[in-house]
Amino acid sequence: MMKNQYVYRNQDITLDIMLKIEHVVRLISIETGKSFDDCLYDFYRSKAYAMLQKTSSLMWAESAEFITDEFFRENKVL
């Protein structure tokens, strides 16, 4: 069993969050022209990613486009 699970109201949302991260990073990569790996590193260091990890923030329920916009607002890269 996984040690690092994301749970919201007794529901495992780990896969939802992982897929959301992949989608967000892919959108960042397309927008910036940077490699997926570079964008993943940048996203992991962002406040948007930190909020996504806090299930109580409900950021995971937002669209990938919304989270991507938050990332760009935070980094002022539009």
| pLDDT tens column, 11-57 | 898 999 999 999 999 999 999 999 999 999 999 999 999 999 888 88
Other C-beta atoms closer than 10 Å to the C-beta of 54 total 11
Position with higher pLDDT, 9 vs 63: 63
DSSP assignments along 15-27, one per residue: HHHHHHHHHHHHH
Q: Which residues pair with 8 in a beta bridge?
A: 11
Q: Which residues pair with 12 in a beta bridge?
A: 7
What pLDDT band is residue 10 in, cutting at 50, 70 and 90? confident
Locate the domains of the chain by residue range.
8-76
Q: What is the pLDDT of residue 2?
A: 47
